[in-house]
Amino acid sequence: MVLHQKDSVRSTLLNDVYASTDLGIQVPKYRFPQKEQRPRDIYQIVHDELMLDGNSRQNLATFCQTWLEPEIARLMDECLDKNMIDKDEYPQTAEIEARCVHMLADLWNSPEAANTLGCSTTGSSEAAMLGGLAMKWRWRERRKAAGKPVDKPNLVCGPVQVCWHKFARYWDVELREIPMERDRLILSAEEAVARCDENTIGVVPTLGVTFTCQYEPVAAVCAALDTLQAQTGLDIPVHVDGASGGFLAPFVEPDLAWDFRLERVKSINASGHKFGLAPLGVGWVVWREAAELPEDLIFRVNYLGGDMPTFALNFSRPGGQIIAQYYNFLRLGREGYRKVHQACYDTAAYLGQALGKMGPFTVIYDGRGGIPAVTWSLAEGGRHNFTLYDLSDRLRSRGWQVPAYSMPANCQDMVVMRALVRHGFSRDLADLLVTDLGRCLAHFDKNPVTRPLEHTEAGGYSHA
C-alpha cells in the first residue's frame, strides 16, 4: 500500500465519530440501506435519535416500570441470548418461570398453590386473552354437555382496558361493558349481575381501572353471583384483571379479599412489568386450580427435545424478564414490595393534597382504594382560562408527560388528568412537578387560551 493511502486509512480509523463520513450524510430512513457502516458511527446515530423520545422517568402516563435496580440490568444482559420457549435447552429458566407461577399462586391465595397451572406472558394483554379463552372453552364444554347452543358467548365487565375489547373481537365474544355514570365510575355488583345470562362465559372486574385507577368490588361481584346461582342455577366464573392491583393489594392491603380466597375467582392476570417491578415484557396468568384450565388449550411440542406443554399466543420470547421477576421476588419479598408501594401511595396522597390546594382542580382520586396515582379534573363551576389538554401540553415543555383524556361511555364529556406514582417517583420529584404545575397556571393567567372554555354545571365544557 502506498504511503498516502496508509495515512487515509489511519485518519478514517482515528476520526472523531461526528467527523466520520458515516455521520457526514443522512442515513436512509425508509429505503433498505445498500452499504454496511461502522458499528460505532451507527450506534451514535441511533442513540442520538432516541434522545427525541420523552424521558421515561417523567412519563407519568404509564403504569409500567421506568426505574430498575442495576442488578436487573445485569441479569437482563446475561439473558439476552436466551429464548424462554426452549425449555429443554434452558431448563433453569423454565424452572424459574414455574417457581414464579407458584409464588404468585401462593401470593394470590390459591388453595392449590403448589400444583396449580399458570404461565408467563408478554404482559397483561396476552394474559387476559389466555384467561378469557379458558373461560370461553369451559363455558362451551358445559353448554355442549347440556346440548345447548354455543354461538352467542358474552363477557360482562366494567370500563375495561382495550385488551378486553380485543379479546371480545378476536374471539367472537359479545362484550357487555357496563357504562360509567358520573356517580359510579366503576362496575357495581348489581349492574354486573343484571347483564349475566346463560351465555355469560364470565365476569371480569378490574383491580385498578385504567381510567380512574380505582379497584372494582370483586368480593361484592362474587357474592352477587352466588345469589344469582342460588336463584337460577347459573354458575358464572370470575376472572380478575389485576394488571396493576395484582401486585399492589397483596402487599399493601393484605386483608382485601379479591383473589382466590373468593371461591368464584377462577383466574387472575397481572403485569409483572407494572407494579411487579420487572422490566418491560412480562405478565402472568394463574388459575385457581389446574382443573380450571381446559386440557385441549395446551399444546405439546417435542421438536425442541423433551415434551413441552405450552399455552401462549407467542412462541419465541426473551427469558430475561422472567429472570428479573424472580430476582424481584427474592430480593424484595412481601416486606420489600410493601415498602416500595407504600412509599408510592404516600407520595400520591401528598401530590393529591398539593393539587387540591392549587385552586382550579378537583382531585377525584388520590390513591385511596386503588393504584398509587392521582386523577383530577377542572373544578366545576369555575371559569378556567385553559383546558386540561392545554395544561398537559404546557407541562411537556418541562419534560413531564401527564395525559389529559376524556372518560369512556357514558362520561365522555368528563375530562381528567392522571399521574401514576411509580417506583422511582420520589417526594422530591413530586415537589418539582407541583412547582412546574404552578408555573403553568401562572403562564395561563398571563396568556389565557384565546377562547376560554367554561366548565358547565354538567361537568362538560362550553365556549365562554
Ligand X SMILES: Cc1ncc(COP(=O)(O)O)c(C=O)c1O
283 binds ligand X, rule: CB under 6 A: yes
22 binds ligand X, rule: CB under 6 A: no
* Shortest distance (Å) from residue 367 CB to ligand X: 15
- Which span (42-50, 165-173, 236-244, 361-369) binds ligand X, by CB under 6 A? 236-244
199 binds ligand X, rule: CB under 6 A: no
116 binds ligand X, rule: CB under 6 A: no
375 binds ligand X, rule: CB under 6 A: no
124 binds ligand X, rule: CB under 6 A: yes
Residue number, 271 or 375, with CB nearest to ligand X: 271
163 binds ligand X, rule: CB under 6 A: yes
3-state secondary structure the chain: CCHHHHHHHHHHHHCCHHHCCHHHCCCCCCCCCCCCCCHHHHHHHHHHHHCCCCCHHHECCCCCCCCCCHHHHHHHHHCCCCECCCCCCCHHHHHHHHHHHHHHHHHCCCCCCCCCCEEEECCHHHHHHHHHHHHHHHHHHHHHHCCCCCCCCEEEECCCCHHHHHHHHHCCCEEEECCCECCECCCCHHHHHHCCCCCEEEEECEECCCCCCEECCHHHHHHHHHHHHHHHCCCCCEEEECCCHHHCHHHHCCCCCCCCCCCCEEEEEEECCCCCCCCCCCEEEEECCHHHCCHHHCEEECCCCCCEEECCCCCCCECHHHHHHHHHHHHHHHHHHHHHHHHHHHHHHHHHHHHHHCCCEEEEECCCCECCEEEEEECCCCEECCCHHHHHHHHHHHCCECCEEECCCCCCCCEEEEEECCCCCCHHHHHHHHHHHHHHHHHHHHCCCCCCEEECCCCCEEEC
Residue number, 199 or 328, with CB nearest to ligand X: 328
Residue number, 287 or 386, with CB nearest to ligand X: 287
Residue in this structure with the C-alpha cell 378556567, named with its chain if needed: 384
* Shortest distance (Å) from residue 243 CB to ligand X: 3
* Shortest distance (Å) from residue 177 CB to ligand X: 13
- Which span (72-80, 91-99, 241-249, 339-347) binds ligand X, by CB under 6 A? 241-249
Residue number, 57 or 165, with CB nearest to ligand X: 165
267 binds ligand X, rule: CB under 6 A: no
177 binds ligand X, rule: CB under 6 A: no
120 binds ligand X, rule: CB under 6 A: no
Residue number, 124 or 267, with CB nearest to ligand X: 124
* Shortest distance (Å) from residue 271 CB to ligand X: 4
* Shortest distance (Å) from residue 91 CB to ligand X: 27
Residue nearest to ligand X (CB): 123
Residue number, 23 or 209, with CB nearest to ligand X: 209
Size of the site for ligand X (CB under 6 A): 15
- Which span (11-19, 65-73, 221-229, 239-247) binds ligand X, by CB under 6 A? 239-247
Residue number, 163 or 221, with CB nearest to ligand X: 163
Residues 41-80, interacting with ligand X (CB under 6 A):
63
The footprint of ligand X (CB under 6 A) covers 63, 123-125, 128, 161, 163, 206, 208, 210, 241, 243-244, 271, 283
